[in-house]
Amino acid sequence: MNYLLAALIGVALGFLIPKVFKKIEWGLFTSLAVGGGSALVAFHVIFFAGIYPKGAWGVILTALTGVFFAVINVKPYFIPKFPPLTLVVRIFLGLFMLSSGIMMWIANPQPGQQLPGAQPGPLFNWLQAVIDTGYLWQFIFGFKIVTGILLLLPRTCTIGILGAIPYYASILAYTLALAKQWLWLSVPAAVATVYLVFAYWDRFEPIILKKQASSK
């Protein structure tokens, strides 16, 4: 029910924003896709993270968050493939990294302390080893917060994509090979990263071609 409510709020905002702000040139399909999709991904990655309150207010605030990030990206620095879909995917990945980084920052266990709610097993052992280093946990949440912000801004999103590639590749490999947990989080995030590389390939291709030319 909350998912449906978040989607309806997002669709309504996506439809009304171009009517209220005449300078925003969205077509009907783009408005509905961006509004509804952005609200859903905001609800998924922020509402369940516990940053916003539970109930109707949490749904409303997360829907507004998603549409806000859609609005600030209306006139992108670079137009990728399939702009409406790409915008929604990029907002999803950016909010996912930002909210999970904030969750790690809030928890921030110190060496010797256990992460609250962690279940014994390979994943628990790995997380505990990260915590006991005394610095790696802090580095990871700092990296995720910065990368999430870079992904949400049109002028820096390609840098954010480059940062997301090694992170989600390693997380996916770990959850597939060892932990067998959190696949419902790691797989969508990895797929979203691969899709963004495809959507922004025209931005990455000159760098790769230049390297190839210089090596000959």
| Mean pLDDT (whole number) for 189-201 | 94
Question: pLDDT of 89-108, one tens digit each?
Answer: 998 899 889 888 888 888 88
pLDDT at 127 over 90: no
pLDDT at 80: 87
* Full domain range(s) for residue 106: 2-215
Q: DSSP H helical segments within the chain, as ranges?
A: 2-20, 28-42, 56-72, 83-107, 122-132, 136-152, 157-174, 183-199, 201-215
Q: Per the structure block, which two tokens stand in for 60? A: 């409303």
pLDDT above 70: percentage of residues in the chain: 87
- What's phi and psi for 171, nearest 5 deg? -65, -40
Q: How many structural domains is the chain composed of?
A: 1
pLDDT at 20: 73
Between CA 176 and CA 114 the distance in angstroms is 24
Q: Per the structure block, which two tokens stand in for 27? A: 């077509």
